[in-house]
Amino acid sequence: MNQEMEDEEMFHEAMEAIDTGDVLEDPEESAELSAMDDDLWNLDASKIGEPHTKEEFANIFEPFPNELQVDDQVAPLVRVVPESSAFYMQNMEYMEILVSLKALERKYKHLARLPEAWRIFQPISQKEYLEMGISDKPITYHEFMGLIRNLASIRPDVMPAEVEALVSRFARNYLKAKVDKREPKVDKMGRSFGKGKRKESIARVWIVKGRGDVLINGKTLADTFVRVQERERVAAPLRATGMLDEYNVFALVEGGGKSGQAGALQLGLSRALRAYNPGLGKILYDTGYLKMDLRRVERKKPGKRKARKSEQWVKR
């Protein structure tokens, strides 16, 4: 008990000495420390391997040089950049393939595409995809096959060889559509002609390679047709074949109303596209744009207000 009290008193005395600055020092130990201190500062820097003057000490913090001199040649120091942009990704190989697919999509985005109904692409199964070793995560399958499906939608007659090889590799049953080998019907000015009829309207249409301008009787498409449905009907053959921005269209139309004129222009434009590019005939025919609409307005009958409408019947 007495020993614990003595230890506690010594502890309190030591704490008070530290607070007041009156730290008790051993004279012999103090002398040895000061002598060692003097010896260190009096040593030459070459002997201890470190600078000891203020000037030498400041040289340590000089900025890193911007140039490196090797064999009397000065070369700039640059930061090392990985060759692959996916270097820091968890699955680097998969990300590299994904980046290359997106680059192909951007490179060939201007090529004409098949309509949704004509994309005959059946991808490989998820099991086959994982067995190929592209990625070990099933969640990446849909993202990867989405990019392949977009590339497969390019029209067969304009599909590049590298895209065709890539699509064939990841397709279970990819049937490339046959390309029509018939020569296009183009005049000396590079134009193709098509004529269309609908009800009482007759349209004569010329197309030529361009940027997608449409002139009907000297007016734009928006000025000629106010209703959106009629504009969509005229441009439907171009949209179905992916040629909206590849041809300039010039047309002369007469007779009938706006609905009949829109139908005549659609048929004339489809025939002009088939004449310019015979390979588009199959798509245009199957979508119905090359079929002439033979319906006409039914004639009025005697004793009736219209073709079918009668007077209101009254019993008495």
**Residue 271 has which token pair?**
């025939």
Give the tens place of pLDDT for each residue, 41-50. 444 444 444 4
Q: What is the pLDDT of residue 27?
A: 53
124-130, long-range: CB < 8 A, 24+ apart: 124/170, 124/171, 124/172, 125/172, 129/170
Strands 214-216 and 73-76: unpaired
Q: Exposure pattern of 22-54 as b/e (b: 16+ CB <10 Å)?
A: eeeeeeeeeeeeeeeeeeeeeeeeeeeeeeeee
Chain segment 239-253, per-residue pLDDT in tens: 888 788 889 999 999
Which residues, in sequence order, are bridge partners of residue 197? Answer: 202
Q: Which residues contact 299 (CB under 8 A, 6 or more apart)?
A: 307
- Domain ranges in the chain are 93-169, 192-286
Q: Tell me the CATH number of domain 192-286, given options 3.30.230.10, 3.40.50.1100, 1.10.150.20, 1.10.3720.10.
A: 3.30.230.10
Segment holding 162, helix H or strand E: helix 161-169
Residue 193's Cα: distance from chain center in Å?
36
What is the β-pairing status of strands 73-76 and 219-220?
unpaired
Mean pLDDT, the chain, whole residue set: 77
3-state secondary structure at position 305? coil
C-beta separation of 260 from 218 below 8 A: no
With 0.75 as the threshold, say if the pTM is over it: no
pLDDT in tens, the chain (316 residues): 566 666 667 666 766 655 555 544 555 555 555 555 554 444 444 444 444 454 554 454 444 454 445 455 555 555 677 777 677 777 777 787 788 888 888 888 777 677 654 456 777 888 888 887 777 778 788 888 888 888 888 877 677 888 888 888 887 755 444 555 567 888 888 999 999 999 999 999 999 999 989 999 999 999 999 999 999 999 999 988 878 888 999 999 999 999 999 999 999 999 999 999 888 888 888 788 999 999 999 999 999 999 999 999 898 7
**Residue 179's closest CA among 238, 114, 266, 244?**
114
Rg, C-alpha atoms of the chain:
43
Query: How many other β-carbons are positioned within 10 Å of the β-carbon of residue 125?
Result: 11
What does the block give as tokens for 283?
């798509």
Angle at 149 between CA 134 and CA 137, to 5 degrees: 30
Q: Which residues contact 297 (CB under 8 A, 6 or more apart)?
A: 199, 307
